[in-house]
Amino acid sequence: MSLSRLEKRFANLRAEGRGGLVTFLTAGDPDLATSLEIVKGLPAAGADVIELGMPFSDPMADGPAIQASSLRALKQGMSLRKTLDLVRSFRAENQDTPVILMGYYNPIYIYGVETFLSDAKAAGVDGFIIVDLPPEHDDEFCLPALAQGLHFIRLTTPTTVGERLPKVLNNTSGFLYYVSILGITGTAAAAQDVVRDAVATIKAQTDLPVAVGFGIRTAEQAARTVEVADAAVVGSAIIDKLKEYLDENNRPKPGLTQAVLDYVRTLSEGVRSARG
Amino acid sequence: METPNSYKNGPDERGHFGIFGGRYVAETLMPLVLEVEKAYKTAQADSSFQGDYDYYAKNYVGRPSPLYFAERLTRELGGAKVYFKRDELNHTGSHKANNVLGQILLARRMGKKRIIAETGAGQHGVATATFCALFNLPCVVYMGATDIARQAPNVFRMKLLGAEVISVKSGTGTLKDAMNDALRDWVANVEETFYIIGTAAGPHPYPMMVRDFQSIIGREAREQILEAEGRLPDQLVACIGGGSNAIGLFYPFLDDKEVAITGVEAAGHGVDSGEHAASLTGGKPGVLHGNRTFLLQNEDGQITDAHSISAGLDYPGIGPEHSWLHSMGRVDYASATDSEALDAFQMLSKIEGIIPALEPAHALAHVCKIAPKMDKEKIILMNLCGRGDKDIFTVAEALGVKI
Candidates A7, A51, A119, A138; catalytic one = A51
Contact between B297 and A111 using a beta-carbon 8 Å cutoff: no
**Domain spans, chain A:** 5-273
Which residues of chain A lie closer than 8 angstroms to B24, CB-CB? 105, 132-134, 137
pLDDT value for B2 = 61
Classified by CATH at the fold level, domain A5-273 comes out as: TIM Barrel (3.20.20)
Which residues of chain B lie closer than 8 angstroms to A58, CB-CB? 171, 176-177, 180, 288-289, 303
Domains B16-57+96-210 and B62-93+215-398 belong to one CATH topology: yes
Q: Is A220 an annotated catalytic residue?
A: no
Q: Is the peptide bond before A30 cis (omega within 30 degrees of 0)?
A: yes
pLDDT value for B4 = 81
Other residues' Cβ atoms within 10 Å of the Cβ of residue B358: 27
Q: Which CATH class is domain B16-57+96-210?
A: alpha beta
Largest CA distance in chain A: 52
Contact between A61 and B170 using a beta-carbon 8 Å cutoff: no
The secondary structure element, H or E, covering residue A59 is none
Mean pLDDT of all residues in B58-82: 98
Q: Are B250 and B218 in contact (CB under 8 A)?
A: yes
Which residues of chain A lie closer than 8 angstroms to B190, CB-CB? 159, 182
Mean pLDDT of all residues in B324-352: 98
Q: Give dist(CA A84, CA A100) in Å, integer.
A: 11
Contact between A132 and B187 using a beta-carbon 8 Å cutoff: no
Q: Give dist(CA B327, CA A269) in Å, integer.
A: 56
Q: Are A60 and B183 in contact (CB under 8 A)?
A: yes
Residues 179-198 of A with CB under 8 A from B: 179, 182-184, 187
Q: Give dist(CA B190, CA A183) in Å, integer.
A: 9
Give the least confident one: A14-23, A145-154, B40-49, B171-180: B171-180
Q: Is the peptide bond before B64 cis (omega within 30 degrees of 0)?
A: yes
CA nearest A187 in B: which residue? B188
CA nearest B176 in A: which residue? A58
Q: Give dist(CA B80, CA B367) in Å, integer.
A: 9
Question: Chain A: nearest CA to B145, how far in angstroms?
Answer: 16
Contact between B27 and A159 using a beta-carbon 8 Å cutoff: yes
The one-letter code for the residue type at B389 is D
Which residues of chain B lie closer than 8 angstroms to A109, CB-CB? 286-287, 292, 301
Q: Are B73 and B348 in contact (CB under 8 A)?
A: yes
Q: What angle do CA B354, B358, B360 make, to 5 degrees?
A: 70
Contact between B24 and A132 using a beta-carbon 8 Å cutoff: yes
Residues A158-211: pLDDT tens digits?
Answer: 888 778 999 999 999 999 999 887 676 666 666 788 889 999 999 999 999 999
**Alpha carbon distances (Å) from B321 to A10, B206, B208:** 45, 11, 8
Find all residues with CB under 8 Å of B273, minimum gap 6, and list them: none
pLDDT value for A172 = 96
Largest CA distance in chain B: 57
Share of chain B above pLDDT 90, in %: 89
pLDDT value for A185 = 67
Contact between B28 and A157 using a beta-carbon 8 Å cutoff: yes
Torsion of CA A137, B243, B28, A60, to 10 degrees: 100
pLDDT value for A250 = 96
Residues B226-278: pLDDT tens digits?
Answer: 999 999 999 999 999 999 999 999 999 999 999 999 999 999 999 999 999 99
**How does residue A1 score in pLDDT terms, banded at 50, 70 and 90?**
low
Q: Is the peptide bond before B252 cis (omega within 30 degrees of 0)?
A: no
Contact between A159 and B32 using a beta-carbon 8 Å cutoff: yes
The sign of the dihedral angle between the CA atoms of B4, B7, B11, B16 is: positive
Q: Which of 3.90.650.10, 3.40.50.1100, 3.40.1440.10, 1.10.150.120 would CATH assign to domain B62-93+215-398?
A: 3.40.50.1100
Q: Give dist(CA B327, CA B280) in Å, integer.
A: 10
CA nearest B305 in A: which residue? A57
Question: Chain B: nearest CA to A104, how far in angstroms?
Answer: 9
Q: Give dist(CA B219, CA A45) in Å, integer.
A: 65
Size of interface A-B (CB pairs under 8 A): 116
Q: Give dist(CA A142, CA A169) in Å, integer.
A: 12
As a 3-state breakdown, chain B gives helix, strand, coil percent values, each rounded to 5, of 45, 20, 35
Q: Give dist(CA B11, CA B251) in Å, integer.
A: 13
Find all residues with CB under 8 Å of A245, minimum gap 6, and list them: A252, A253, A255, A256, A259, A260
Residues A83-95: pLDDT tens digits?
Answer: 999 999 999 999 9
Residues 154-213 of B with CB under 8 A from A: 170-171, 176-177, 180, 183-184, 187-191
Residues A113-122: pLDDT tens digits?
Answer: 999 999 999 9
Which residues are B236's β-sheet partners? B261, B381
Q: Are B383 and B254 in contact (CB under 8 A)?
A: no
Residue B110 burial by Cβ neighbours in a 10 Å radius (0-12, 13-18, 19+): middle
**Domain spans, chain B:** 16-57+96-210, 62-93+215-398
Is residue B173's pLDDT more than 90?
no
- DSSP track, B349-403: HHHHS--B-HHHHHHHHHHHHHGGGS-TT-EEEEE--BBSGGGHHHHHHHTT---
Contact between B295 and A137 using a beta-carbon 8 Å cutoff: no
**How does residue B190 score in pLDDT terms, banded at 50, 70 and 90?**
confident
